[in-house]
Amino acid sequence: MSINLKNAYYRTYQKAFKVVMPVFNWDEPELLKGPGAIKDLPALVKSKGVNNVLIVTDKGLMSLNLLDSLFENLEKQNIKYTVYDGVQPNPSIENIEEARRIYLKNNCEGIIAFGGGSPMDCAKVAGARVSNPNTTVSQMRGLLKVFKKLPPFFAVPTTAGTGSETTLAAVVSNMQTHEKYAINDPKLRPKYAVLDPELTTGLPKKITSTTGMDALTHAVEAYIGQSGVKSTNDYAEKATKLIFDNLEKAYEDGKDIEARENMLVASFYAGMAFTRAYVGYVHAIAHNLGGLYGTPHGLANAVILPHVLEYYGETAHEKLAKLADIVGIDGDSDKEKAEKFIEEIKEMNEEMDIPEHFDFIKDEDIPTIVARALKEGNPLYPVPKIMDEEDCTKVVKAIRGF
């Protein structure tokens, strides 16, 4: 098939999917918000008729005692809980299956995901496996492959980045093939979420910066793509403004509770935007760097974002210029404002000690990265400009930097 025919097919696919999107349930999660909101979660769990929960988290969060108030208040509500804390930074199929086994062994009735994107993604797919025992994780890959709804699901983000507490996506790593891929289905979207900034005040600077840039990537990719609607555009604009105003404040002063809360809201808004409008090639490439090299997702997005925006060129100038206006960047033309917006992203990265390139990318891995990124991105992602193999190779080499 010629490039022109392929591109025409991709655009037709994306337009058709945009048409059917309103059919799905887009109800927002029920929120508990504000400092100390985590203490109110057990009462909410109890009110939903759940008396036995699986808590999915990681060992790092357990060691920081961040879950202590949750445990205490679950006990006050006479809710039994079991903890699975084996989630890895890029959750694997093995993590998911282990969480599922623990859920079933302990006769749990619901799931609390506590942590960053990795615990939440692991918990989502573990819940999907509980409800869909005859569908393997690999069979859920892609779109609309989760056939039955999850058990009652409560999401507690401890980073302001992934927006997973409101998205229909979960990302899984196959440790055998070193492949990282997304599962996308409205049934994965949490019904309840807690936005408690006190849970984020102890985040290291590196996690603050990279997860914040992850949220910015969600907002920007959703905004410049071709599947946005008024609601997703509004969310993306609000998220972008909040991130530009608050991320470096939270980075410099982790105890700034207002900045931390604003970043949690920004991450939530960005999640609201991309869960319906989708992302783009930044994510497609980032997932594969995570799969091959274990690169943290937020860091990968932060480094890749300006390179991909430069590749889009004039196809993204008008929308990037609108974002520039929103964050207070001036210019005499859309082109100038868009380029200044991209430069500002680079400067934010530099200020927060995020590298400009990934020099660890190996020559021999580039064809695999390109093939897998294009497989993920085409035809699903409604990007401003469609990449082919040559385009993607050039971008990956630019990301590598030599």
Per domain, the residue ranges of the chain are 3-21+203-400, 34-199
In 366-387, which positions are buried (b, 16+ CB within 10 angstroms) versus exposed (e)?
eeebbebbbebbbbbbbbbbbb
Per-residue pLDDT band for 66 (boundaries 50, 70, 90) equals: very high
Task: Report the amino acid identity of residue 180.
Answer: K
Q: Distance between CA 336 and CA 284 in Å, rounded? A: 27
C-alpha to C-alpha distance for 378 and 394, rounded to whole angstroms: 17
Is the pLDDT at 332 greater than 70, yes or no? yes
pLDDT reported for residue 321: 98
State the pLDDT at residue 191: 94
**Does residue 379 have a cis bond before it (omega within 30 degrees)?**
yes
What pLDDT score was predicted for residue 89? 87
Phi, psi of 180 (to 5 degrees): -120, 130
Tokens coding 150 = 């999850």
Q: 208, 197 in Cβ contact below 8 A?
A: no
Which position has the token pair 């700034």? 256
Helix (H, G, I), strand (E, B) or coil at 392: helix
pLDDT, position 133: 97
CA atoms of 284 and 267, how far apart (whole Å) = 19
pLDDT band at 237 (very low <50, low <70, confident <90, very high): very high
| Distances, alpha carbon 372 to alpha carbons 9, 41, 237, 318, in Å | 19, 40, 30, 29
**Residue-averaged pLDDT of the chain:** 96
pLDDT at res. 402: 79
For residue 248, the model assigns a pLDDT of 98
Q: What is the rounded CA–CA span in Å between residue 79 and residue 53?
A: 7
Q: What amino acid is encoded at 163 in this protein?
A: G
Question: Using CA atoms, how far apart are residues 228 and 231, in angstroms rounded to an integer?
Answer: 8
Residues 299, 186, 119: CA angle, nearest 5 degrees? 40
Both structure tokens of 312: 């889009």
**CATH hierarchy code of domain 34-199:** 3.40.50.1970
The tokens of 163 are what? 């927006």
Q: What is the pLDDT of residue 20?
A: 87
- pLDDT band per the 50, 70, 90 thresholds, residue 67: very high
* pLDDT value for 4: 82
pLDDT at 23 exceeding the cut of 90: no
Same fold, 3-21+203-400 and 34-199: no
The fraction of the chain above a pLDDT of 70, given in percent, is 100
143 vs 303, more confident: 303
Cβ proximity of 110 and 77 under 8 Å: no
pLDDT band at 25 (very low <50, low <70, confident <90, very high): confident
- Of 74, 75, 102, nearest to 87 by C-alpha is 102
Residue 17 is predicted with a pLDDT of 86
CATH number of 3-21+203-400: 1.20.1090.10
169-220 confidence digits (pLDDT tens)? 999 999 999 888 999 999 999 999 999 999 999 999 999 999 999 999 999 9
Cβ neighbours of residue 338 closer than 8 Å, sequence gap 6 or more: 316, 317, 318, 320, 321, 324
Query: What is the average per-residue pLDDT within 28-44?
Result: 97
What is the end-to-end Cα distance of the chain in Å, rounded? 32
> Cα–Cα–Cα angle for 39, 261, 321, nearest 5°?
150
Q: Are 211 and 204 in contact (CB under 8 A)?
A: no
Residues ≥6 apart with Cβ < 8 Å to 333: 321
For 318-330, what is the mean pLDDT? 98
Show the tokens assigned to 325. 């206006």
pLDDT value of position 1 = 66
pLDDT at 22: 86
pLDDT band with cut points at 50, 70 and 90 for residue 124? very high
